[in-house]
A and B are shown apart, each in its own frame.
Chain A
Amino acid sequence: MSSRMIGVDVGGTFTDVFVLDEASGTATVAKVPTTRPDQSGGFLDGIGREVDDLSEIAVVVHGTTAGTNALLERKGAKTGVICTQGLRDVLEMRRRDRPRTWGLRGDFEPVVERQNRLEVPERTLADGTVRTPVDLDAVRAAAKQLRDQGCEAVAVLFANSYANTANEDAAAAVLREVWHNEHVSASSEILPEIREFERFSTTALNAYLQPEVSGYLGRLENALKAGGFDGEFMIVQSNGGVMAVDTACRLPVRTALSGPAAGVIAAGYIAGSAGFDNIITGDMGGTSFDVSLIAEGRSMLSPQTSIDFGMVVRNPMIEITTIGAGGGSIAWVDKGGLLNIGPESAGSNPGPVAYGLGNTRPTVTDANVVLGRIDPDNPIGGKLDRLDVEAARRAIDEHVGAPLGLSTVEAAEAILKVANSRMAGAIRLVSIERGFDPKRFAFMPFGGGGALHAGAMLAEVGIARAIVPRYPGVTSAMGCVIADMRQDFVQTINSLVDTLDEAALGAFMQDHADQGMALLDAARTSFDARELSFELDMAYIGQTHTVSVPLAVAVEGGRVAAPSKAAIEAAFDAAYGETFGRLLEGGVRRILNLRSAVTGKRPKFDLAALAPVPGGATTPIGQRQVHFGDRWHDTAIYDRLALPEGTVVRGPAILTQPDTTVLIEPDLQGRVDRFGNTIIEPQSGERPLEEEAT
C-alpha cells in the first residue's frame, strides 16, 4: 500500500528530500546536489536515495524555484501581448517608480519587448460598459504577427476587463483557436482585479513562465510516472498552499515564491507543535537573511510582491522580508571609517574567503570561521574538504582589522556584531510595521547559517527564546509535506455598500467556492477538512488604503449564503475599528474587492516521528576553542541528533549535524524538546519543557 509522502525542495545548491512514511510514522531526509540546467535529475536522484519503488509513494509535493529563477534570470519564453489601443506601454511605464531613491541611475526592460506588444481596437469603461467592441480580425492579425515574430506565449491585456470580461473573453477565445500552443493568458482569467499595471504585469509574467514551468513540471511528472509513480503530484504556491500540477502549469506565476513559502509553513507547524504560536523566522542563506512573521499560528500574507524592479506579481504570497546580510555578505570599511556589511555578497560561489574559491574580501562566514564557531575540518554541505582559516584571517586583517586598528579576533567579533545588529533590525522592523512587539515572539532560525546567530538575536531584540528545528536545513522540503491545498480567488466589486447588488456578490462567492471545491475534488489526495473563507477589501470613500474585512458566511450543502448589507457594514466597522482604533463618523463605506480562499486541510503528521531515539549519547564528541565576547572559551561539541529528549546543554557549546551548526553562547542553554527541536534560552531555571509550553 502506498503510504509515503515526499516533499522535495530544489534550491540553488542542494535538492532536499523529506520522506514521511505514514504507516510506520517515521521520517527520513536526504540532501543531494541540485542538477543544472535540468533540475529533474537531482529531483529523481534525491527521491531514489530513500525510495526504491516509486509505486509506494502516495504524494509528491514540490517546492520549486524554477519560476523564480526564470524571472530573476530573465529566461522565460518570448512572449507577445495584445492590448487595448493607447495602452501599449503599461508594462514598461510601471507605476512611475525608480529602482533606487538616490542617484537616479538604472533603466528597465520589461519581459515583453515593445515590438511584441500590439494594440487592437477595443475599450471597456470603468463601469463595465463596452464602448468599443473588440475587433477580432485585428486580434487574428496581431496573433499572426506575434507568431511570425517568434512568440511562444501570448497575453491579452485589456483595460477595465475586471469590470466586464466580454472583450477579453472574445479575444481569448479567438486566440485559443488560432494560437499554435496552449500558452494563452487573459488578464481577467489570471487576476480579475482593478489596477491595470499590477494585473497586466502578473498576467504577462504568467505567460512568460508558462512554457518554461509547464515544460519542467511535465518532464518531472513523466519521469515519476515512468518510474512507476501513480500518486498525486502537487506544487507549492507562494501563498503557502499546494496546488495540483495541472493548475501550476496553467498559473505558473503562483509559484514565484514557492520554495521560501514552504519553509515558513513548516516553521509555523513545528513551532505550533512545540507550543509557540508567535514566531519570527529567520532564514540565513549565502546572500540574504529572510525574515517572516507568524502571529497566533497564522503566517502573514502580502497581496503582492516585486520579484525584481518593475516585475510585480499580484497574488497572495507569504510575506518575507529580505535584507542583504547572509553568510556571504562582504564586510568593508567606508571612507568615513564605519564598518559595513553587504549589500555586496560573495554568495555561495566563490563564497567566503575560507572556501578558497577566489574571493579575497572577508564575509560574515569568514568571521564565524576565524572565531571557531564553524568547524574548519568538516564544512557543511560536503562540497569542500576543509576551510582555509588562515586566508580568512588575512582577509579580515587587511580589510577590517587594519583600517579600524583592531586585532584579527576583534575585527571578526566586530563583523558579527554589525551583521547581528542588522539582522536584529530586520526582525524589529518586520514586527513593528505590523503592530507587534517582537519581545512576544520566539525566534526560529532555519537554513544553513541561522542557528549560528540565534543567541545574538535573543540579546539584540530582547526575544525570550529561540527554537531551532531538528532539521533546519530541510525545512522547506518538510513544509511541502505539511502544506494544505489552497486556492485564492479575487474579483473587483467596486460598489458602495448602499448600492451593492447582493445577488451579484453572492454569485461571485458561489463561483469561487465551486471552482475551489472542484479543484479539491479533482485532487487524488485526502483532506481532513475543507474550509471556505471570504474577505472584502473595504474603505471609506476617499481613502485609497483598504482594510481586509473577514465575512462570516454560512455554507450548507455547497451553497454559499450571501451576506446582507447590514452584516457587511457591521463586519467593516469591526475590522476598521481594530485597525485604526476609531470609526469615521458619517463616512460612506465602499467595497473594492472580494477575496475568497478554498482550503483542503491535509492530514498532519505527528512531528514525534522526528523525535530523538531514547538512550542517545549526551556526552560531547569533541572540544575546541571558540571566541565569545572578549576571550576564547573551551567549548564542548555535541552530536546534535544523538541528544535524547530533555537534554540540557549549557553554553558555551556547539551542536553539530550534517548541514547545520547550532551555537549556544556562554550565558545560554539549549534543551532538546520531545520533537528533537533545540530550545535556546537564558540559563535560568531547569523547568521541564512541558511546563513551559503551557
Chain B
Amino acid sequence: MSEIDPITLSVLAGRMEQIADEMDATLFRAAFNPIIAEAHDASHGLYHAVSGDTLVQGKSGLPIFVGVMSFAVKAVIEKAAKDGDLEDGDIYIFNDAHIGGTHLSDMRLVRPYFRDGKLFCYLASVGHWHDVGGAVPGNYNPAATDVFQEAFNLPPVKLAKGGKINQDIIDILMRNTRLPQSAMGDLNGQLGALDLGIKRMDELLDEYGAETISAALEALGHRAEALMRSELEELPDGRWEAEDFLDNDGIVDEPLKIRIALEIKGDRMVLDFTGSSPQCAGPVNIALPTTVATAYVAIKHVFPALPANAGVMRPIDVIVPEGSLLAAKFPAPTGGYTETILRMIDVVFSAFAQAAPGRVVANAYGTINALSIAGKRKNGQPWVMFSFYGGGHGGSAETDGLNHGNAPISTATIPPMEILEAAYPVMFRTWALRPDSAGAGTHRGGLGAIYEIEVLEENGAEAFLFGERGRFAPKGIAGGGDAAMNVFSYEQDDGWHRPPLASKMRGIKLRPGQAVRLETPGGGGYGPASERTAGAVARDVARGLVSAGEADQTYGTAWREAKA
C-alpha cells in the first residue's frame, strides 16, 4: 500500500465524509415517512470490503447507527461468502435485528461497490420504516415475548442481482406492511441514496485513482486508532466499576442489572459487561451488535472529536457475557432496545466519571417514554397518537444540564403540541418543566418535564406506555445528586392511579375528560451540592426551578441572603 501525503488525506477525509452526508441528504429529502424525513432515523456510510468495518459515516444520521451499520455489512459479507455469488450491481436487504442490531423497524440495504471488476468497498443505507407488520402498528409491542410478535423478519437476501431489481422481494415486502405506500417511498429513497453514493465514488476514484483512495481509507483507520490511543493515554490507568438497573422487562416485575467494569491501561481500554442480568422474557433484550454499537456511542459522547471510523475501536475490547440480555439470542424480542442501551450509556458514564470526572456529564433522564394514546372517533375511524417524551440532561464540569433534551442515542425533536392537538382528539393541560426534578450539584442536572394529556374524544381512548427509570433514578457524578425518577399516573373515575410495573402499562381505559400525566426524570447533578454558589441557588428558586423547601434541604439556607 502506497503512503499518502497528509494534505491529500485531509482533503479526502472531507470528500468521503461528504459522500455519506450527501446520501443522508438524498434520503431525508425523498423519504415518505416522518421518522426518516423529520427525525432523521437513518444513516449511510462506506464499509471495508473484507472486514465490513466502518470507514466513513454520514454526520446527520442517528447516533446509534454509527457503529451498528458495520454489523449489517458483516452479515452480508458472510451471506455472500456462503452463497459464493457476489457480483457488481447486487443489493442486499434485511431487517433481522439479531444479525444487524437495533430493532426490526430498521431496514438495511447493503450494496457492494466494484472498481475495475474488483470489490472495492461496501455502501450501506439504513432507515426506520413506519411499519413492518407484526402485532401492533409501528412495531413497538411492549408485550412481545419473541420477534415474531414484533414484526416480519427478513434475513439478508438479494433485492437486486447484477443490477436488476428482483420485483418478487418488493412484492413480499409490500404485502407485509400496513403502510405500503410509505414503505415504497422509503425504499426508493434508500435505493436513490445508494445510487448517488456509487456515482460519487466513481467520480472520486476517477479523480484520485483507486490506489490513493485505498491508501487514504487505510490511513484514516490508523488515524482514528491513533486519536483514540492518545485520548486513552491521557487518562489514568485503573479499573472502575458501575452498575444500574432497568425497572423490569414489562413481563416479569424484577429489576435487571447492567454492570460494567471499565479498565484503562496505557493506550488500551476494556469495557466488561460481565455481571449483567441474563436474557429476559420481555422486549428489553438487545443483540450483540447493538451492544457493541452502544459502547461506541458512549465512547463518542465521552470523546466527541473522534471520527466515525472503526479504527477507534481497535484499542478497545468489549466483553459481553454469553446468555445475558446484552447478547440475546434469536428469537428473543428486542423492540424496547432503546431503554437498555440508554442504561448502558449511563453505566459507561458513571464508570468514566470515576476515572476522569471532567470528561463526562452526569446521567441523562434515561428513558424514551414511548407513550401511545389510541381510540376510535365517532365515525369509526381509528387514531393513534404515538410519541417519545424528553427529560433533563446531566450537569457537567462547565454548566448545569440542559432542560428537556432528547435522548443521547437520538437527535429527534418532539412534535409541537399544537400539531398533536390538531391531529388527535386530545388537549395538553400541561406542557412544562418539572420543578425539583434535577439532580442537585455544583452544576445541577437539567429539568425533566410534565406532560398532562386529556382525552377529548367522546368514545374515550386507551393508553400504552413503555418507559423506564420508575424505580432507579438517573445518577449524579463527582459527588452530584441523583435526579427525580419517572412518574406516570392516569386518571380514573375514582381518582389518580399508578401502574404496577412503574413505567410500563398496556390498555389503560380513559373516558373523555380523563387524562394521563407523565413526569419525566431530570438529569443527574455534577459535583457536590455544597459547592453550588448561593447566587445560583437563589436564581433557581426565583425562577421556580427549585422550590424553596428543596433548596433549604439540599443546598442549605445561604441562598436566602444571596442575590439571584
Q: Is B249 among interface residues, defined by CB-CB distance under 8 A?
A: no
CB-CB under 8 A for A107 and B22, given A338-B9, A340-B10, A414-B7: no
Q: Are A433 and B432 in contact (CB under 8 A)?
A: no
Q: Is B15 among interface residues, defined by CB-CB distance under 8 A?
A: yes
Q: How far is the CA of A87 from the CA of B419 in the complex (A)?
A: 15
Of the stretches A362-370, A418-426, A472-480, the one at the interface is: A418-426
Q: Is A339 among interface residues, defined by CB-CB distance under 8 A?
A: yes
Q: Is A559 among interface residues, defined by CB-CB distance under 8 A?
A: no
Q: Are A339 and B32 in contact (CB under 8 A)?
A: no
Of the stretches A95-103, A134-142, A606-614, A641-649, the one at the interface is: A95-103
Chain B residues with CB under 8 Å of A159's CB are 417-418, 421
Q: Are A107 and B390 in contact (CB under 8 A)?
A: no
Q: Are B364 and A104 in contact (CB under 8 A)?
A: yes
Q: Are B418 and A339 in contact (CB under 8 A)?
A: no
Q: Is B497 among interface residues, defined by CB-CB distance under 8 A?
A: no
Identify whether the interface residues of A are mostly helix, strand, loop, or mixed.
loop
Q: Is B13 among interface residues, defined by CB-CB distance under 8 A?
A: yes
Q: Are A125 and B421 in contact (CB under 8 A)?
A: yes
CB-CB under 8 A for A336 and B226, given A105-B396, A194-B418: yes
Q: Is A197 among interface residues, defined by CB-CB distance under 8 A?
A: yes
* Residues in A391-431 with C-beta less than 8 Å from chain B: 404, 406, 413-414, 417-418, 421-422, 425, 428-429
Q: In this complex, which of A107, A162, A195, A422 has the most chain B Cβ atoms within 10 angstroms of its Cβ?
A: A107
Q: Is B242 among interface residues, defined by CB-CB distance under 8 A?
A: no
Of the stretches B89-97, B134-142, B333-341, B538-546, the one at the interface is: B538-546
Q: Are A106 and B6 in contact (CB under 8 A)?
A: no
CB distance from B111 to the nearest CB of A (A): 19
* Residues in B133-159 with C-beta less than 8 Å from chain A: none
* Residues in A413-463 with C-beta less than 8 Å from chain B: 413-414, 417-418, 421-422, 425, 428-429, 432-433, 435
Q: Is B172 among interface residues, defined by CB-CB distance under 8 A?
A: no
Chain A residues with CB under 8 Å of B416's CB are 95, 194-198
CB-CB under 8 A for A92 and B404, given A159-B418, A414-B6, A432-B22: yes
Q: In this complex, which of A105, A114, A336, A404 has the most chain B Cβ atoms within 10 angstroms of its Cβ?
A: A336
CB-CB under 8 A for A89 and B18, given A106-B399, A126-B421, A159-B417: no
Chain B residues with CB under 8 Å of A125's CB are 421, 427, 456
Q: How far is the CA of A435 from the CA of B422 in the complex (A)?
A: 32
Q: How far is the CA of A89 from the CA of B432 in the complex (A)?
A: 5
* Residues in B252-307 with C-beta less than 8 Å from chain A: 300-301, 304-305, 307
Q: Is B30 among interface residues, defined by CB-CB distance under 8 A?
A: yes
Chain B's closest residue to A196 (CB) is B418
CB-CB under 8 A for A88 and B432, given A97-B411, A98-B402, A196-B416: yes
Chain A residues with CB under 8 Å of B185's CB are 580
Q: Are B32 and A101 in contact (CB under 8 A)?
A: no
Chain B's closest residue to A97 (CB) is B413
Q: How far is the CA of A418 from the CA of B15 in the complex (A)?
A: 10
CB-CB under 8 A for A543 and B543, given A86-B429, A104-B361, A126-B418: no
Q: How far is the CA of A125 from the CA of B454 in the complex (A)?
A: 12
Q: Is A632 among interface residues, defined by CB-CB distance under 8 A?
A: no
Q: Are A418 and B7 in contact (CB under 8 A)?
A: yes
Q: Is A584 among interface residues, defined by CB-CB distance under 8 A?
A: yes
Q: Is B430 among interface residues, defined by CB-CB distance under 8 A?
A: yes
CB distance from B214 to the nearest CB of A (A): 18
Q: How far is the CA of A89 from the CA of B38 in the complex (A)?
A: 23
Chain B residues with CB under 8 Å of A429's CB are 18, 21-22, 25
Q: Are B227 and A96 in contact (CB under 8 A)?
A: no
Q: Is A337 among interface residues, defined by CB-CB distance under 8 A?
A: yes
Q: Is B210 among interface residues, defined by CB-CB distance under 8 A?
A: no
Q: Are B223 and A336 in contact (CB under 8 A)?
A: yes
Contact with A along B438-466 (1 / 0, CB 8 A): 00000000100100100010000000000
Q: Are A160 and B414 in contact (CB under 8 A)?
A: no
Q: Is A687 among interface residues, defined by CB-CB distance under 8 A?
A: no
CB-CB under 8 A for A115 and B542, given A108-B403, A545-B38: yes
Q: Is A494 among interface residues, defined by CB-CB distance under 8 A?
A: yes
Chain A's closest residue to B406 (CB) is A96
Q: Are A195 and B361 in contact (CB under 8 A)?
A: no
Interface residue count for B (Cβ, 8 Å)? 77
CB-CB under 8 A for A335 and B37, given A97-B406, A102-B63: no
Q: Are A93 and B404 in contact (CB under 8 A)?
A: yes
Q: Are A428 and B414 in contact (CB under 8 A)?
A: no
CB distance from B400 to the nearest CB of A (A): 5
Q: How far is the CA of A195 from the CA of B224 in the complex (A)?
A: 42
Q: Is B408 among interface residues, defined by CB-CB distance under 8 A?
A: yes
* Residues in B1-57 with C-beta less than 8 Å from chain A: 6-7, 9-11, 13-15, 18, 21-22, 25-26, 29-30, 32, 34, 37-38
Chain A residues with CB under 8 Å of B305's CB are 334
Chain A residues with CB under 8 Å of B542's CB are 115
Identify A108's interface contact among B21, B224, B402, B406, CB under 8 A: B402
Q: Is B375 among interface residues, defined by CB-CB distance under 8 A?
A: no
Q: Are B403 and A92 in contact (CB under 8 A)?
A: yes
Q: Are A98 and B393 in contact (CB under 8 A)?
A: yes
CB distance from A89 to the nearest CB of B (A): 4
CB-CB under 8 A for A96 and B405, given A107-B399, A429-B21: yes
CB-CB under 8 A for A435 and B29, given A98-B402, A195-B418: yes
Chain B residues with CB under 8 Å of A53's CB are none
Q: Are B6 and A428 in contact (CB under 8 A)?
A: no
CB distance from A548 to the nearest CB of B (A): 14
Chain A residues with CB under 8 Å of B390's CB are 93, 96
Q: Are B10 and A421 in contact (CB under 8 A)?
A: yes
Chain B's closest residue to A127 (CB) is B422
Q: Are B398 and A339 in contact (CB under 8 A)?
A: no
CB distance from A493 to the nearest CB of B (A): 11
Q: Are A93 and B431 in contact (CB under 8 A)?
A: yes
CB distance from A419 to the nearest CB of B (A): 10
Q: Is B401 among interface residues, defined by CB-CB distance under 8 A?
A: yes
Chain A's closest residue to B414 (CB) is A96
Chain A residues with CB under 8 Å of B456's CB are 125
* Residues in B458-496 with C-beta less than 8 Å from chain A: none
Q: How far is the CA of A90 from the CA of B390 in the complex (A)?
A: 13
Q: Is A38 among interface residues, defined by CB-CB distance under 8 A?
A: no
Chain B's closest residue to A119 (CB) is B432
Chain B's closest residue to A102 (CB) is B304
Q: How far is the CA of A543 from the CA of B186 in the complex (A)?
A: 13
Q: Are A335 and B427 in contact (CB under 8 A)?
A: no
Chain B residues with CB under 8 Å of A390's CB are none
Q: Are B452 and A98 in contact (CB under 8 A)?
A: no
Q: Are B417 and A335 in contact (CB under 8 A)?
A: no
Q: Is B230 among interface residues, defined by CB-CB distance under 8 A?
A: yes
Chain A's closest residue to B231 (CB) is A335
Q: Are A544 and B7 in contact (CB under 8 A)?
A: no
Contact with A along B293-332 (1 / 0, CB 8 A): 0000000110011010000000000000000000000000
> When A and B form their complex, which 10 residue pairs have the shortest distance between CB atoms, in order from nearest?
A96-B390, A336-B223, A102-B304, A114-B543, A336-B227, A103-B304, A96-B414, A126-B421, A95-B413, A414-B7
17 pairs across A/B with beta carbons < 8 Å?
A87-B417, A90-B417, A96-B404, A96-B406, A96-B413, A98-B406, A98-B411, A103-B361, A107-B400, A113-B543, A334-B227, A336-B227, A404-B6, A421-B10, A428-B22, A429-B21, A585-B181
Residues of B within 8 A of A (CB): 6-7, 9-11, 13-15, 18, 21-22, 25-26, 29-30, 32, 34, 37-38, 59, 63, 181-182, 185, 223-224, 226-227, 230-231, 300-301, 304-305, 307, 361, 364, 389-390, 393-394, 396, 398-406, 408, 411, 413-419, 421-422, 427-433, 446, 449, 452, 456, 542-545
Residues of A within 8 A of B (CB): 86-90, 92-108, 113-115, 123, 125-126, 131, 159-160, 162, 194-198, 334-340, 404, 406, 413-414, 417-418, 421-422, 425, 428-429, 432-433, 435, 494, 542-545, 580, 584-585, 587
Q: Known pairs A87-B432, A98-B405; list 14 more (Cβ under 8 Å).
A: A90-B417, A114-B544, A115-B543, A131-B427, A159-B417, A160-B418, A194-B418, A195-B416, A335-B226, A336-B226, A338-B13, A418-B11, A543-B34, A545-B37
